[in-house]
């Protein structure tokens, strides 16, 4: 799905849920959907303010909360008290490993893990709607730098 199509889908859903579609909200959504990186709310605010310095921090945080609740972005706790987001509309499912030392996020897909989750759900009569797997640990680079110290 193209970014313009994604934005239209988001706009229709938000308007349909009673949210006002302001120029600031449109900019926030467009900016969030334009990146394929994990970003913080402050990163998003900075990117938006480069286009429109009047974008409010409160509007960014409120819009991110609405986008997350609607399933257009996914929040990821990094283990250091921080939170990063990524847009998930139009993207294939993947899971994450988060480094507790440098907070880098590694995306991965493991078909065996996916299969085993389905088997476990089936065993107890559970239908999976969606899931999120996050593994917290220490990346190779941080392990190396710790050994070097």
* pLDDT tens digit sequence for 27-74: 999 999 998 889 999 999 999 999 999 999 999 999 999 999 988 999
- Total of domains in the chain: 2
Q: Are residues 87 and 97 in the same domain?
A: no
Instruction: Determine contact, residues 67/32, Cβ cutoff 8 Å.
Output: yes
Residue range(s) defining the domain that contains residue 3: 1-91
Instruction: Supply the CATH number for residue 105's domain.
Output: 3.30.1490.190
Query: What does pTM read for this prediction?
Result: 0.79
Instruction: Supply the CATH number for residue 66's domain.
Output: 1.10.10.10
* Tokens encoding 60: 């960014």
26 C-beta neighbours (distance < 10 Å), count? 15
């Amino acid at each position: 799905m193209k970014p313009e199509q994604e934005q239209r889908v988001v706009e229709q859903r938000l308007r349909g849920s009673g949210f006002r579609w302001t120029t600031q909200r449109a900019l926030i959504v467009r900016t969030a959907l334009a990146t394929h990186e994990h970003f913080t709310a402050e990163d998003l605010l900075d990117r938006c303010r480069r286009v429109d310095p009047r974008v409010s921090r409160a509007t960014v945080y409120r819009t991110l909360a609405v986008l997350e609740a609607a399933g257009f972005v996914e929040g990821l706790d990094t283990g250091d008290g921080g939170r990063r987001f990524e847009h998930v509309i139009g993207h294939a499912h993947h899971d994450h490993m988060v480094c507790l030392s440098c907070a880098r996020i590694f995306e991965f897909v493991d078909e065996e893990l996916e299969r085993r989750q389905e088997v476990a759900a089936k065993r107890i009569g559970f239908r999976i709607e969606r899931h999120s797997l996050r593994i917290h640990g220490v990346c190779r680079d941080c392990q190396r730098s710790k050994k070097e110290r």
